[in-house]
Structure 1
Amino acid sequence: MRIHPPSQKSPLELALEQARASYGTKNPNSFKAFKDAATSLPGGGTRSSIFIHPFPLFIARGEGVEIEDLDGHVYKDFVSDFTSGIYGKTDPVLKKAIVDALDNGLQLGAHTTAESRLASQLCARFPSIELVRFANSGTEANILAISAALHYTRRKKVVVFTGGYHGSVLSHFGEHEGGDLKVPYDFLVCPYNDISATEDRIERHKAEIGCIIVEPMIGAGGCIPGDPEFLRGLRRISTEIGAVLVFDEVQTARLGTGGRQKILNILPDMTTLGKFFGGGFAFGAFGGKKEIMSMFDARSPCAISHGGTFNNSPLTMIAGCTAIEHLLTEEKLGALNKLGDEMRDRLNEVFEKEDLPLRITGLGSINQFHAHASLNDAKPTSKPTSNSSPSPDLMRSILDLLFFSLLDRGYWIAQRGLISLNFAMLENDVRGFEEAVLNSAREIKRAL
């Protein structure tokens, strides 16, 4: 990479300035909508993960694999709503089930048979789930699971991992300007994929630890797959110290009909789910061993109270049942994850061959671009961070330029580099995306 005097802008900085200026010129309607929204919403929105610098696009509609913004630009959607939009934008099976369900009423405020139907389907898919409760998001499910684990063990400490994300108030990305809001649990933060260091830290507090919660693949922290032996080690440690092991499969449940725990044959004590199991509606679920989940049995005089007006929303229950029965099949999930694995392998092969400033990590249909300045830098590994990675500013600039370059080519990804495939995609869609990524990466390399 060329070094430029502090007073002189690098080609990368100039290219990024030009890309942002072009973005602003092409999207006047989105900019106007953003300014209007900012009068009542901080930053013009209510979801930090979808904000785009310098201002976000406002989407008017979606169909199949495509979305259209307020300025009439059409993009192939490779974000898929951060893994939740696995069905594409207009799945006809889901749409019919939802429209039919509307005839029975919006909110019934009571039990329905769809509630127990969805619960039995989830219990059948996940051997770790003997009983399950519903919530309204993955965040809520994880808060409830952690709280239940601490109540069950009568302990206070919660083991989490650097780079982990268990919801909007349960992130562990390290210190950064502004910081994150966190539920005030007594956290013990350990290094992901380092079982030796994790065991050393746990040993000093083992009598206080009531819960160990882990993503089988770090999601928002960079799509870093958990080493199987690391995850098995957590299962062993949890058993030895009497803690509840929680697998957060909110994202990784799409890797197979029983999530990554089934793929690796590891049985946690509890599992949390969310996103796509609501069939397009807000959804969360937490479940596990009978002796833990029975604490919520309202027939007991000592039952834990757990309310939530929309926990069993009829539309969500019907949509979730329909999705599991007709769409989230082993065959369809297998084909989708094969598309993602092959895409990742092909891109990394060219990235390395041409010494391009990108690598991609992930599993199946969930992947993340990572920036680096040269092939001599360390490739993304099973650790969330690398001492040989480019500076944060350089990484951010490379990913920003990739984002704007792909927009110009008609592809929508997350600005931070996340991509997630969906059922509406065909092989040609993925191949076209690969070509756009490689051409964008070559442009970025010329600017370094």
Structure 2
Amino acid sequence: MTITTQSTSTSPLSKALSKARQSYAEKNPSSLKAYEQATKSLPGGGTRSSIFIHPFPLFIERGEGTEIVDVDGHVYLDFVSDFTSGIYGKTNPVLKKAIIQGLDNGLQLGAHTPTESSLSSALCDRFPSMDLLRFTNSGTEANILAISTGLHCTRREKVVLFQGGYHGSVLSHFGEEGGGGDLKVPYDFIVCPYNDIPGTRDIVQKWNDEVGVIIVEPMIGAGGCIPGDPQFLQFLRDLSTQIGAVLIFDEVQTARLGTGGRQKILGITPDMTTLGKFFGGGFAFGAFGGKEEIMSLFDARQPNSISHGGTFNNSPLTMIAGLTAVQHILTEDNLNKLNKMGDGLREELNSVFQEEELPFNITGLGSINQIHYTPTTEKRQGLDLLFFYLLDRGYWIAQRGLISLNFAMTQEDVRGFEIAVVEAAREVGSVM
């Protein structure tokens, strides 16, 4: 297999990136070998587009605490935390003990378990909008079911969502940055500008009687960690009520900002909420819930109830791990400490970026943040180069710039990361 590391561009940034990719390829021969083997059965050598790296991805052998080790023996401090889902670190002893005990009761039971209702009750207690909920296997699945439920309730067809939003692998709207290659569930979408009240009002008013669902992330996640203005989110609450649409808050990521997500922090209650990622305690997980009058449509005791299956919806190990996490790890105190570290990280880096006029800034909330390359040209190349420079310093982030903290981290870990980011940013700035 031929691995291309050279760029056709002759700009200083592109030349530096080609050199960094060549160095990366030379340092990771075992990952290259594993990648070549993977391409024989997986298109592009993998099954998650978000973790692909040019010229080839790293292959990870194991992890412990906040560290991961690749097949070439390189150790990295993990500052992406599996795109916010790995909030517990790699080897949480509380979760490990609960999972091992759960294994003694059987892998799959194919029936209701007491833990299932205990976890659902705990989540309903946390989120103001959730009177009842149903479990799924991912945030994508939760959003598809929530949207479909909202359209069923309203007997309408149009779905309002927002530019830059990501509600799962078949529900993303990145615009030009998405490259035009995203698959879409064939809903009748109306795409509106995020954080833009007049722009959204002008678009939606053309379709008031046809809009059945408005779905929004309280902070745009994969689209760049852009916090939703409280006034904008309240506007969506008022607009949904006014036109008779179901308002869905996608809190798959922002649920980690507090025990009741951002809706509880802001005091804005949607009609439905979707969850995913870390509430499974490390296992595949999703959930959608909302007002009793909406979710009661799934009550099998009622005539004409909506059928909702899923072999692994209530997987015993997921339920046990999730309940353990909610009861013992995802506490208000632990989340506050983690989000405080993230806020401090963002403030410190932005201060240095501004003071030294480095070509980066960072946006986000709490423990979820995104580094942006600020020049209007070569944005992708600037972030890629920063990514490789951070790898050289022993730090692992998302190639697109996402940073997500986890409970295994210490303040010393974060401080070391801040120093590494500044050094890497200076190095990128020096080749512009």
Distance 1:178 1:243, change over 3 A: closer
Q: 405, 410, 425: which one pairs with 2:389?
A: 405
SS of the residue aligned with 2:77?
strand
Unaligned runs of 5+ in 1: 1-5, 374-389
CA distance in 2, matches of 1:147, 1:359: 38
CA distance in 2, matches of 1:79, 1:266: 29
Aligned to 1:285: 287
CA distance in 2, matches of 1:263, 1:252: 11
Query: What code does the residue aligned with 2:346 have?
Result: R
Aligned to 1:299: 301
Distance 1:295 1:191, change over 3 A: same
Return the offset for 1:18.
Answer: 1.0
CA distance in 2, matches of 1:301, 1:30: 55
Return the offset for 1:119.
Answer: 0.3
CA distance in 2, matches of 1:178, 1:52: 19
SS of the residue aligned with 2:85?
coil
SS of the residue aligned with 1:273?
strand
2:166 aligned with 1:165: yes
Aligned to 1:433: 417
SS of the residue aligned with 2:133?
strand
1:303-360 CA distance string (max 9 Å, x none): 0000000000000000000000000000000000000000100000000000001100
CA distance in 1, matches of 2:283, 2:422: 35
2:311 aligned with 1:327: no
Return the offset for 1:177.
Answer: 3.6
2:220 aligned with 1:238: no
SS of the residue aligned with 1:56?
coil
CA distance in 2, matches of 1:82, 1:427: 20
Aligned to 2:317: 315
Q: How does 1:371-410 map to 2 (within 5 A)?
A: 371-373=373-375, 390-391=376-377, 394-410=378-394
Identity %: 73
2:154 aligned with 1:153: yes
CA distance in 2, matches of 1:316, 1:256: 21
Return the offset for 1:178.
Answer: 4.5
Runs of 4+ deviating beyond 3 Å: 175-178
Return the offset for 1:10.
Answer: 2.8
Return the offset for 1:126.
Answer: 0.5
Aligned to 2:257: 255
Distance 1:178 1:39, change over 3 A: farther
Return the offset for 1:7.
Answer: 9.6
CA distance in 1, matches of 2:15, 2:415: 30
CA distance in 2, matches of 1:233, 1:333: 28
Distance 1:324 1:8, change over 3 A: closer
1:238-288 CA distance string (max 9 Å, x none): 000000000000000000000000000000000000000000000000000
Return the offset for 1:125.
Answer: 0.2
CA distance in 1, matches of 2:203, 2:334: 41
Unaligned runs of 5+ in 2: 1-6
CA distance in 2, matches of 1:267, 1:110: 33
CA distance in 2, matches of 1:54, 1:403: 13
Return the offset for 1:8.
Answer: 8.1
Aligned to 2:194: 192
Tell me, yes or no, if the aligned pair for 2:9 and 2:15 is still in contact at 8 Å: no
1:384-407 CA distance string (max 9 Å, x none): xxxxxx12xx11111001000000
Query: What code does the residue aligned with 2:127 have?
Result: F
1:3-62 CA distance string (max 9 Å, x none): xxx998232222111110000000000000001000100000001111111100000000
SS of the residue aligned with 1:351?
helix
Tell me, yes or no, if the aligned pair for 2:160 and 2:192 is still in contact at 8 Å: yes
Aligned to 1:387: none
Aligned to 1:40: 41
